[in-house]
Amino acid sequence: MNTRSPLRIAILGSGKGSNAQAILDAISEGRLNARVVCVLSDVADAFILERARRQGIPAEFISAAPFKTKLEGEGEQRYLDALNRYGAEVVALAGFMRIIKPGLLAAFPNRIINIHPALLPAFPGMESWKQALDYGARVAGCTVHFVDAGTDTGPILLQKVVPVLDSDTAATLHARIQEQEHVAFPEALQLLAEGLVRIEGRRVRLTQ
């Protein structure tokens, strides 16, 4: 029997929130011992907020202005205040389109994870599924990793591989990768919830 208390997860996202939905589904199906304490978005009309509200999860638009691509300064402080107010233990970046800066990293050391739609370290950055297709890779996939000061560079927690088919377009490959994201992100969070994760340098080890 699992006697640990549910992991308190804050989800940050800027878009449609399909990964947030997968996390919520895993919790309600008993595959993830966690509670989503809040969903925060830097985009006022992002569907991720609507999804959360429909399911009774506290959801807030929090401006990250004046910056366009990073979370720093007063915006970062507003996020920190909310994360503390909701008592978040882990921050899950689910399509949050901003670079995380040292203030947040220091407040949640090795407690911020991101999902990236490629097999890192290949194809960091934007539209990674398209990068993989254009490059001619025969496999693609997704990576759940800890967030550090770089872009898509932190220690890797979990990866899922999908084939690249001759018939693939960017859209079909992206859809196949997203299906695996929805498996990988809850699985990775469950490893954290079970307290199994140790980071040793770049390597993530799973131990009791």
Binding residue for ligand GRF, selected from 36, 59, 105, 115, defined by CB under 6 A: 115
Question: Does 18 interact with ligand GRF (rule: CB under 6 A)?
Answer: yes
Euclidean distance between CA atoms 75 and 41, whole angstroms: 12
Q: How far is the CB of 76 from ligand GRF (least distance, A)?
A: 19
In angstroms, the CA 117 to CA 134 distance is: 15
What does the alpha-carbon distance between residue 19 and residue 94 come to, in Å, rounded to a whole number? 6
Please give the single-letter amino acid code of residue 68.
Answer: K
Residue 180 interacts with ligand GRF (CB under 6 A)? no
End-to-end CA distance of the chain: 15
Q: Which single residue brings its beta carbon nearest to ligand GRF?
A: 95
Task: Give yes or no for residue 178 binding ligand GRF (CB under 6 A).
Answer: yes
Q: 142 near 117, Cβ under 8 Å?
A: yes
Say whether residue 153 binds ligand GRF (CB under 6 A): no
Active-site residue list: 116
The footprint of ligand GRF (CB under 6 A) covers 13, 15-19, 48, 94-95, 115-117, 178, 181
